[in-house]
Amino acid sequence: MLRTFIILVPLLFSIHSPACSAATDTISAGEALPKDEKLVSRNGRFALGFFHPDTDSKFFPRHTLKHWYLGIWFDKIPVLTPIWIANRENPIVGHHRVTKLTIASDGNLAIFNQATRSTVWSTHASITAKKTMVVLQDNGNLILRDASNSSNVLWQSFDYPTDVMLIGAKFGLDKVTGLNRVIVSKKSLADPAAGLYCLELDPTGANQYVLEFCNSSIVYWSTGEWNGQFFNSIPEMSGRTLFDFKFINNNQEKYFVFNLLEKDLITVCFLDISGQMKQLLWLENKQEWATIYTLPKDLCDIYATCGPFTVCNSNALQVCDCIKGFSVRSPKDWELEDRAGGCIRNTPLDCGTKNQSRTATTDKFYSLPGIGLPTEANIIEAARTADQCALACQNNCSCTAYSYGNRCSVWYDDLLNVRV
């Protein structure tokens, strides 16, 4: 087994805000977050401010305009690790000095782009209070509340998670309001917009969480049902070494929540770009993150994790590779762990491009021995021999592969989930 237990995770983000004097944890009506500053929770654990993905990488020419996001991160560690992002889909492009975080006239917390005079993001709560205020709480929850009644919370960041399962946050369904909290992976190391993978309560109603390819709701892994102590497919949870867990299902809500047993530990559980859940633990002595577990364990169990026309091999140093005759479609995206584009043919197919005639085509099949067959095969009953199966595939320019065992299976368009 070549699977490493501890993987270092490069997080390509950099903190923009310099440490500021007299940090505050609140914004009140009429106030704005001062430029270059951040809110810091009273216990000093979390900070809220603007950050941008690292643009020092070779893939970002120096003139590339920076993309700014409002996020919450651990204030005490030097590796910026956003655990929540407000405007993941709407970065502010250019200079952050044009942005203003303030309580708008309607009482909502909002980000304004002063250059374009537009609202980039808002909490969009229905406000019932005369005056509101914003507090970054000690647990990392950003709340918008009635300024004169601290129990009247109008909006909270815990209800709108990004790619991180937040400690102490209810993760699941509010049956009264219909709010369903879903974790969605990032697109790439440089782009925190919604990516390909989702973690949510099983939509069929079972008491478990499922990992799915968001676009098509294809489930590729599930936690197993809650048995009162832990989820059946994660027996490791029963040890309760780091966390205490609860799964609540009543008339009002259905959710999972976990809390740290050792309050000072810094840990983060997130849905990675690849579609894998990862739990990281901050190593104070080494000043770096260590991965303490991944789910599912085998990366190749994740639907389309390497993208189309790739081969997944979890025992190889490089898990994702192109099928022979194909090359990575976008090396820049691939490097940033966005493999959605997968690989493309080095030489385009003759079929469908130059000449539709099967007899004239120069296309040939290439045999891939020793692989697990991709999912979503189409069975052609009429083809009774390997040659007939090959012909059936050649007859249709959308057909990209065939396999003949007892029956003829063919695949159309993108070939996904090929594994060694």
Ligand X SMILES: *[C@@H]1O[C@H](CO)[C@@H](O)[C@H](O)[C@H]1NC(C)=O
Binding region for ligand X (CB under 6 A): 149, 151-152, 196, 215, 340, 355, 357, 360, 396, 398, 412
Count CA atoms within 13 Å of residue 304 on its CB side: 24
Taking the least distance from each CB to ligand X, the nearer of 17 and 137 is 137
Q: How far is the CB of 198 from ligand X (least distance, A)?
A: 12
Amino acid at 38: K
Phi/psi zone of residue 56: left (φ > 0), alpha (ψ -120 to 50 degrees), beta?
Answer: alpha
| Nearer Cβ to ligand X (267/361) | 361
Measured from the CB atom, is 196 or 418 closer to ligand X? 196
Could you tell me the two tokens for 27?
Answer: 């914004």
Q: How many CB atoms lie within 10 A of CB 253?
A: 15
C-alpha distances in Å from residue 303, one per residue of 201, 270, 375 = 18, 17, 9
Least Cβ distance, residue 90 to ligand X (angstroms)? 19
Instruction: Closer to ligand X by CB, 64 or 355: give it.
Output: 355
Contact (Cβ atoms closer than 8 angstroms) between residue 291 and residue 274 = no
For the CA atoms of 18, 22, 27, 30, the dihedral, rounded to the nearest 10 degrees, stands at -100
Minimum distance from residue 195 beta carbon to ligand X (Å): 8
* Minimum distance, C-beta of residue 398 to ligand X, in the bound complex (Å): 4
Residues 305 and 274 sit within 8 Å (Cβ to Cβ): yes
For residue 170, the minimal CB distance to ligand X (Å) is: 17
Residue 339's CB is within 10 A of a number of other CB atoms, namely 23
Of 28 and 150, nearer to ligand X (C-beta) is 150
Cβ 207 to ligand X shortest distance, Å: 29
- In this complex, which beta carbon is closest to ligand X, that of residue 215 or of residue 217? 215
Q: Minimum distance between the CB of residue 357 and ligand X, rounded to whole angstroms?
A: 4
Nearer to ligand X, 312 or 416 (CB): 416
CB-CB contact of 155 with 142 (8 Å): no
DSSP H or E stretch at residue 243 = strand 243-249
Helix (H, G, I), strand (E, B) or coil at 300: helix
Beta-sheet pairing, 99-103 with 109-113: antiparallel
